[in-house]
């Protein structure tokens, strides 16, 4: 609260000698500025005992009440000061600021305007009135106030920073940066201005530049939760989510009741695939701010990640009810409806999101996935192409999403060269963003084959949990696993649980006596029967959370192929289905997708080919070490060629009697996650067979790495 204290000419006694009221109030102000609020309050009350209507004492006591957090008392005291001396601009200005801070913007503006009427050339009053206008979203009036304050006091750093705020809200970002820099020039230790400058740089997509600015703000004001939150947001945009989590935990230690900080924390945890922690954080956020649109939207995302699309829909709808123009919630609602097979309703959500922001590339990529393109004149294609003309002005993420969108649309239209060109550029941008440790990954394939030997498999056979409920459907991504699960999930005795991370979580829960995690497969040689039974039982416990009574439950996490030997040892009666597809078709389909989860090996053709080769070697190893009848190889091309024969074979492998419902898999209304959610709601079709052939001239880096010769 800026300004000078007023005074009166009466007398009072303070201490051992007589002092005027003016002197006592001045002494109280000195005490307040020194942080001795109790002594300052005592002096003011001493004055008010003799002079209850002394305006300077009432005003100063109101400021002290504000500083100790008693907002109601502060307002009441300042109102008394105004009643006693209604001609002092400072009193009206400070009363307006107190009213603003208490969420009473209209009254704040009225008090601020009265201050300016009394003293049109009072910079502090103009600045305070500007803040009240800003809170009321009257940005033009706020800007006029700030500029008038600066004209009267060219060294008014706070007014420059506030001007930056209003310019940023008006999307005049370059002007805002100039204003913040001027505030910092005038006041080099101005932490708030650094914080605001950092956020404006983020708005300009200069995220890397914002980080040192936020850190400068924190060097000046280390325990400021808003700045810590902003730094965390910058780190999240820079894909440094682990660091963001640590910063947000620090922020919450300072302000445990910040619902906003919990929202940010949940978002960072979700990106790190720490879903259970993210769920706990967002629930804490909603307990603090139950009507926060961001918290509701994030809760929906977590529910969607937990394969609970119906509940996710409800959460997204609540977010939209709170904030009807929330693009992300409309987009996410579309994704949830798509999982539920409500494609037309999903498309309406995407179109609503596009109306909110016609340049939202994150919406385009979902929209093109949900529809086939049949005409060059498709208005959605024209919109994407129009936006592509501004490619250079977009962020890397936006460019990447646009390239994948165009690739899919052009592929539908059989413009294969154009499709592959955008596929290549989109993958190159994605590859820049990820850390794929290829050497370590390929080594792991070899290490698994070395450790999980035929001798080890024989020595530990039959020791695990005997349940026959689990069915694992695994293989390379885009190899037909979603189709196979949909067939099985149409059987009345099978619950299709989708892509579950639970077995992976059980594997990663293995720790040694020192409490340190032991990596797979290194723990397996020392595992005894009790360890294998416990591992199998823990997985079954998790599996029963998806269905308490289904005789069979599927898990179609493709990467479970790493664990095939361990799955059989921990669950010897579990059935395993290995989905296969032409190697080049599989790899091209992977290369064409911007996966929602990290498939780090799919964005460079040579890396993809080498990964596939090691996968093929590992699967051959599993065929050699598993007993007959445990794992069934299912070739996608054979499924589409003779569907019923293959469907009967799959059902029989799972120990189930045949049911005709498996032939009508496309009529199954169960939620379907993954990139194949729309395809499995159609009858069997063969158009995906040989998909690679039109692209063969561009696929040489892939073909030379694959383990088998491909047909010409």
Q: Find, among 557, 550, 575, the residue nearest to 673 by Cα.
A: 557
Would you put residue 642 in left (φ > 0), alpha (ψ -120 to 50) or beta? Answer: beta
| pLDDT band of 575, cuts 50, 70, 90 | very high
Average pLDDT, the chain: 91
Q: Which stretch of 86-90, 160-164, 229-233, 441-445 has the lowest confidence by average pLDDT?
A: 86-90
Q: Find, among 259, 336, 334, 254, the residue nearest to 292 by Cα.
A: 259
Q: Is the pLDDT of residue 216 over 70?
A: yes
- pLDDT recorded at residue 80: 94
- Secondary structure letter of residue 517 according to DSSP: B
Q: Is the pLDDT of residue 561 over 70?
A: yes
| pLDDT band of 683, cuts 50, 70, 90 | low
Q: Three-state SS across 588-612? A: HHHHCCCCCCCCHHHCCHHHHHHHH
Q: Return the residue matching tokens 């008006």.
A: 170
Alpha carbons 94 and 43: distance in angstroms, whole number: 21
Q: Is the backbone peptide bond immediately before 204 cis, with ω within 30 degrees of 0?
A: no
Task: Name residues whose C-beta falls within 8 Å of residue 193's C-beta, 6 or more positions apart in sequence.
Answer: 157, 160, 161, 164, 180, 183, 184, 187
Return the structure tokens found at 37: 């609020």
Strand 17-20 and strand 552-555: the pairing is: unpaired
Q: Is the pLDDT of residue 685 over 80?
A: no
Q: Decide if 282 contacts 299 (C-beta within 8 A).
A: yes
335 against 306, higher pLDDT? 335
Helix, coil or strand: residue 553: strand
State the average pLDDT over residues 627-643. Answer: 95
CA count, 13 A, side-chain hemisphere, 512: 10
Residue 240, judged by CB atoms within 10 A of its CB (0-12, 13-18, 19+), counts as middle
| pLDDT band of 14, cuts 50, 70, 90 | very low
Q: Find, among 618, 571, 456, 459, the residue nearest to 522 by Cα.
A: 456
State the average pLDDT over residues 8-23. Answer: 59
Q: Which stretch of 246-255, 388-397, 466-475, 521-530 has the lowest confidence by average pLDDT?
A: 388-397
Residue 331 φ then ψ, to 5°: -60, -45
Q: Is the pLDDT of residue 680 over 90?
A: no
Task: Name residues whose C-beta falls within 8 Å of residue 287's C-beta, 6 or more positions apart in sequence.
Answer: none
Alpha carbons 121 and 567: distance in angstroms, whole number: 79
Alpha carbons 25 and 488: distance in angstroms, whole number: 83
Q: Return the residue matching tokens 């008038």.
A: 148
Q: Find, among 135, 141, 163, the residue nearest to 151 by Cα.
A: 163
Return the structure tokens found at 398: 């936006």
Length of the chain: 712
Q: Decide if 238 contacts 211 (C-beta within 8 A).
A: yes
| pLDDT band of 690, cuts 50, 70, 90 | confident
Helix, coil or strand: residue 14: strand
Task: Name residues whose C-beta falls within 8 Å of residue 372's C-beta, 6 or more positions apart in sequence.
Answer: 412
State the average pLDDT over residues 372-378. Answer: 94
Residue 125, judged by CB atoms within 10 A of its CB (0-12, 13-18, 19+), counts as buried
Q: Is the pLDDT of residue 676 over 80?
A: no
How many beta carbons lie within 10 A of that of residue 694, not counting itself?
Answer: 16
- pLDDT recorded at residue 686: 64
Return the structure tokens found at 701: 């880096």
What angle separates helix 293-305 from helix 309-322, to the nearest 10 degrees?
A: 170
State the average pLDDT over residues 97-123. Answer: 91
- pLDDT recorded at residue 710: 47
Return the structure tokens found at 311: 């509940």
C-alpha pair distances (Å), 25 with each of 21, 44, 58, 84, 407: 6, 6, 10, 16, 74
Q: Is the pLDDT of residue 2 over 70?
A: no
Return the structure tokens found at 249: 């935990």
Alpha carbons 519 and 500: distance in angstroms, whole number: 20
Element (H, E) at 576: strand 575-580
What's the pTM value of the predicted model, to 2 decimals? 0.81
- pLDDT recorded at residue 363: 95
Alpha carbons 454 and 657: distance in angstroms, whole number: 32
- pLDDT recorded at residue 103: 87
For residue 18, list its beta bridge partners.
Answer: 13
Longest dimension (CA), the chain: 108
State the average pLDDT over residues 254-278. Answer: 95
- pLDDT recorded at residue 670: 57
644-666 per-residue burial string, b: 16 or more CB within 10 A, e: under 16: eebbeebbebbebeeeeebbebb
| pLDDT band of 15, cuts 50, 70, 90 | very low
State the average pLDDT over residues 208-233. Answer: 97
| pLDDT band of 669, cuts 50, 70, 90 | low
Q: Which stretch of 330-334, 465-469, 570-574, 676-680 has the lowest confidence by average pLDDT?
A: 676-680
Q: What percent of the chain has pLDDT over 70?
A: 94
696-709 per-residue burial string, b: 16 or more CB within 10 A, e: under 16: bebbeebbebbeee
Helix, coil or strand: residue 324: coil
State the average pLDDT over residues 677-691. Answer: 60
For residue 31, list its beta bridge partners.
Answer: none
- How confident is the model over 74-99, as pLDDT tens digits? 999 999 999 999 999 999 989 988 99
DSSP for 633-647, written as a single string: EEEHHHHHHSHHHHH
- pLDDT recorded at residue 7: 38
Domain boundaries, the chain: 467-703
Task: Name residues whose C-beta falls within 8 Å of residue 120's C-beta, 6 or more positions apart in sequence.
Answer: none
List alpha helices for 370-437, DSSP H.
Answer: 379-388, 396-412, 416-433
For residue 634, list its beta bridge partners.
Answer: 579
Give the Cα-Cα-Cα angle 380, 381, 383 (nearest 5 degrees): 65
Q: Decide if 131 contacts 100 (C-beta within 8 A).
A: yes
Helix, coil or strand: residue 556: coil
Percentages helix, strand, coil for the chain, rounded to the nearest 5? 65, 5, 30
Indicate the CATH number for domain 467-703: 3.40.50.300
- pLDDT recorded at residue 665: 76
Q: Find, among 697, 702, 452, 454, the residue nearest to 590 by Cα.
A: 702
State the average pLDDT over residues 127-153. Answer: 94
Would you put residue 576 in left (φ > 0), alpha (ψ -120 to 50) or beta? Answer: beta
- pLDDT recorded at residue 679: 53
Alpha carbons 370 and 67: distance in angstroms, whole number: 56
- pLDDT recorded at residue 673: 53
State the average pLDDT over residues 661-669. Answer: 79
């Amino acid at each position: 609260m800026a300004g000078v204290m007023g005074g009166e000419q009466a007398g009072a006694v303070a201490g051992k000698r007589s002092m005027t009221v003016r002197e006592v109030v001045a002494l109280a102000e000195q005490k307040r500025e020194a942080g001795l609020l109790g002594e300052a309050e005592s002096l003011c009350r001493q004055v008010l005992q003799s002079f209850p209507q002394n305006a300077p004492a009432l005003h100063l006591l109101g400021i002290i009440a504000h500083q100790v957090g008693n907002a109601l008392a502060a307002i009441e005291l300042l109102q008394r000061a105004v009643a006693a001396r209604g001609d002092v601009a400072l009193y009206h200005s400070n009363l307006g600021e107190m009213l603003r801070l208490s969420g009473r913007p209209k009254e704040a503006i009225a008090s601020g305007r009265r201050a300016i009427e009394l003293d049109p050339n009072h910079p502090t009053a103009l600045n305070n009135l500007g803040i009240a206008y800003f809170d009321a979203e009257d940005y033009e009036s706020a800007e006029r106030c700030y500029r008038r304050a600066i004209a009267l006091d060219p060294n008014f750093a706070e007014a420059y920073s506030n001007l930056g705020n209003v310019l940023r809200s008006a999307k005049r970002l370059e002007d805002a940066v100039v204003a913040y820099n001027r505030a910092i020039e005038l006041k080099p230790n101005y932490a708030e201005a650094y914080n605001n400058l950092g956020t404006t740089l983020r708005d300009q997509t200069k995220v890397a530049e914002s980080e040192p600015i936020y850190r400068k703000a924190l060097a000046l004001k280390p325990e400021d939760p808003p700045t810590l939150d902003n730094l965390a947001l910058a780190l999240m945009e820079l894909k440094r989510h682990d660091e963001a989590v640590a910063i947000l935990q620090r922020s919450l230690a300072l302000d445990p009741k910040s619902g906003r900080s919990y929202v940010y924390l949940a978002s960072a945890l979700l990106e790190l695939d720490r879903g259970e922690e993210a769920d706990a954080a967002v629930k804490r956020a909603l307990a603090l701010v139950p009507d926060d649109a961001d918290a509701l939207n994030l809760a929906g995302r977590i529910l969607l990640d937990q394969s609970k699309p119906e509940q996710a829909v409800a959460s997204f709808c609540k977010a939209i009810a709170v904030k009807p123009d929330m693009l992300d919630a409309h987009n996410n609602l579309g994704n949830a409806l798509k999982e539920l097979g409500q494609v037309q309703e999903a498309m309406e959500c995407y179109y609503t999101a596009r109306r909110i922001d016609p340049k939202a590339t994150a919406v385009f990529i979902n929209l093109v996935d949900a529809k086939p393109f049949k005409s060059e004149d498709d208005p959605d294609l024209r919109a994407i192409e129009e936006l592509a003309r501004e490619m250079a002005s977009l962020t890397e993420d936006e460019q990447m999403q646009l390239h994948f969108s165009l690739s899919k649309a052009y592929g539908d239209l059989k413009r294969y060269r154009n499709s592959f060109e955008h596929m290549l550029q989109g993958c190159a941008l994605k590859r820049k963003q990820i850390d794929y440790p290829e050497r370590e990954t390929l080594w792991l394939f070899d290490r698994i084959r070395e450790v999980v030997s035929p001798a080890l498999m024989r020595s530990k056979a039959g020791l695990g949990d005997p349940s026959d409920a689990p069915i694992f459907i695994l293989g390379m991504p885009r190899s037909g696993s979603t189709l196979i699960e949909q067939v099985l999930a149409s059987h009345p005795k099978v619950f299709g649980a989708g892509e579950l991370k639970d077995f992976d979580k059980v594997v990663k829960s293995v720790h040694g006596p020192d409490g340190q995690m032991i990596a797979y497969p290194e723990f397996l040689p020392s595992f005894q029967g009790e360890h294998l039974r416990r591992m199998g039982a823990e997985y079954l416990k998790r599996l029963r959370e998806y269905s308490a009574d289904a005789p069979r439950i599927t898990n179609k996490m493709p990467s479970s192929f790493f664990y095939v030997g361990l799955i059989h040892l921990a669950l010897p009666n579990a059935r395993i289905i290995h989905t296969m597809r032409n190697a080049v078709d599989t790899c091209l389909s992977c290369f064409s997708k911007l996966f929602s989860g990290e498939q780090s090996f799919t964005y460079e053709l040579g890396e993809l080919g080498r990964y596939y080769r090691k996968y093929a070697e590992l699967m051959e190893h599993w065929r050699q070490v598993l007993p007959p009848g445990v794992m069934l190889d299912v070739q996608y091309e054979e499924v589409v060629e003779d569907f019923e024969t293959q469907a009967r074979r799959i059902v029989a492998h799972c120990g189930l009697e045949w049911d005709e419902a498996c032939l009508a898999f496309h009529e199954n209304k169960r939620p379907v996650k993954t990139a194949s959610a729309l395809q499995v709601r159609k009858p069997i079709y063969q158009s995906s067979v040989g998909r690679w052939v039109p692209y063969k001239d561009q696929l040489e880096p892939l073909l030379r790495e694959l383990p088998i010769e491909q047909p010409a």
